[in-house]
Amino acid sequence: MAGRRRGSWVVALCSALCLALLAGCGADPVPDTAAGDVRRLLDRRAHAVLTGDERAYKRTERPAHGRSGAPDLFANVRAIPLETWEYRLSWLDRSGSRATARAELRYRVEGYDRAPLTAERTLSLERHDGQWYVTAERPAKKAGEQLWDQGRVRAERGADSLVLGVGRGARELRAHRALADRAVPAVRDAWPGKWPGKVVVLVPRSLKGMAGLLGAPASGYRGIAAVTTGEAGGPGRAPADRIIVNPEAYGVLGDFGKQVVLTHETTHVATRTRTSPATPLWLSEGFADWVGYRGTGRTAAQAAPELGRAVRGGELPRELPGDDEFGFGTDAGRLARAYEGGWLACRMIADRWGERRLTDFYRAVGGHGKRAGAVEDALRDVLRTTPEEFTARWRTYLRSELG
């Protein structure tokens, strides 16, 4: 009994001390309800975005002084067919009538995303007449931008694709849509694995916009026509990948080159769940190029000019390209030769062992779980060969195709 009284006394003392401290700081001695109020504010904001209720959305905002020119999130996302849009408050720092919040935005594009995509957001808040309002919303520090952070999004929906662009005309986006709609069935025909059979293509205003979406310096993507985002080896219910186009590098390509690029990137979307840390880049990039060029009639000499010049100049590679040779910041010629060497390795497998064996080989390597032994085991089990024999055969293939 004495112990219980003592415990109650300690609790009462702590409670009194807390109230005294709050009163001493000039705060309301009633427990702070800011976090709950902000959660309800974000719920109303999300519901307004999702339902297209602009008046309800405006009631969640109180633009800060000097905020003219800031992105209008509601207007910028209106063209995107959203299925879900939800904020999850993770942190709140209040100072009087102002606060800063961090929240995880979870959203899905209707018909394309199998699970929510997430984006870390920072929101500036202000309390006025007893209500909290958003004064600004932006990507969290070190988080990549979302396309709508860069301007008003225009959407073009295709049979198997959705193209979203900022600062691009309708005619250009329709051209992207047509290429994507041709890429999907081409990949479906080449890859027997299960995948959604749809792609989302993002076309930002510039190279800088592409880098903003990736949260990386623009210099690393200057000559790259497009990239695909997504978790390699992710679960089957992972969100749909995004193909992000670099309008500067992609724009200088002809129609054929653009089609190969989009088919290549769509292949990454299709094979993502079968690609893992065990998959070397010569195989993942080479296979994507193989699908891209499949059925086009392009010869090895036409599609591998850099490697062809090296072979004819007596510089026959001694081994398959390593992962380090595929770095975006590397020498352009070295990068091209790496892609071409990987493509010709996959092309050789398809020619020598058949297309089905090539896809079986890809899945066997990715399913290994770890890099060590993955290629060796798949060569033995699927192609009935060894790394040494395979490399020798590949070098001979390069001489015969490019020499």
The 10s digit of each residue's pLDDT in 165-223 is 999 999 999 999 999 999 999 999 999 989 989 999 999 999 999 999 999 888 888 88
pLDDT score, position 237: 45
Provide the total of helices (H) and of strands (E) in the chain, helices listed first.
15, 9
* Nearest of 286, 280, 264 to residue 366 by alpha carbon: 280
pLDDT(236) > 50: no
Longest dimension (CA), the chain: 95
Average pLDDT over residues 64-82: 81
How many CA atoms are closer than 13 Å to the CA of 343, on its beta-carbon side? 28
pLDDT score, position 65: 58
For residue range 316-356, list pLDDT tens digits in order.
Answer: 999 999 999 998 766 889 999 999 999 999 999 999 999 99
pLDDT score, position 332: 85
pLDDT score, position 241: 86
pLDDT score, position 330: 64
Give the type of residue at 395: R
DSSP labels, 219-275: GGGTT--EEEES-TT--TTSPPPEEEE-HHHHHTS-HHHHHHHHHHHHHHHHHGGG-
**What is residue 153's three-state secondary structure?**
strand
pLDDT score, position 99: 97
pLDDT score, position 69: 53
Q: Using CA atoms, how far apart are residues 400 and 347, in angstroms rounded to an integer?
A: 13
Which pair of structure tokens corresponds to residue 388? 């040494």
**R_g of the chain computed on alpha carbons:** 27
pLDDT score, position 63: 75
In the chain, list all ranges with CATH 3.30.2010.30: 144-270
CATH class in words for 34-142: alpha beta
pLDDT-derived band of residue 89, with 50, 70 and 90 as boundaries?
very high
Give the type of residue at 174: R
- Secondary structure element (H or E) that encloses residue 196, with its range: none
Which pair of structure tokens corresponds to residue 168? 């691009």
For residue range 277-321, list pLDDT tens digits in order.
Answer: 999 999 999 999 999 999 999 999 999 999 999 999 999 999 999
Which stretch of 61-70, 269-278, 392-401 has the lowest confidence by average pLDDT? 61-70
- How buried is 204 (Cβ within 10 angstroms: 0-12 exposed, 13-18 middle, 19+ buried)? buried
* Nearest of 364, 341, 147 to residue 276 by alpha carbon: 364
CATH code of the domain occupying 144-270: 3.30.2010.30
pLDDT score, position 239: 53
The pTM score is 0.87
- Edge-first strand order for the sheet with 98-109 is 82-95, 98-109, 117-128, 131-139
Quote the percentage of the chain above a pLDDT of 70.
87
Q: Alpha helix (H) ranges present in 30-169?
A: 34-51, 54-58, 73-77
pLDDT score, position 4: 35
In the chain, list all ranges with CATH 3.10.450.50: 34-142
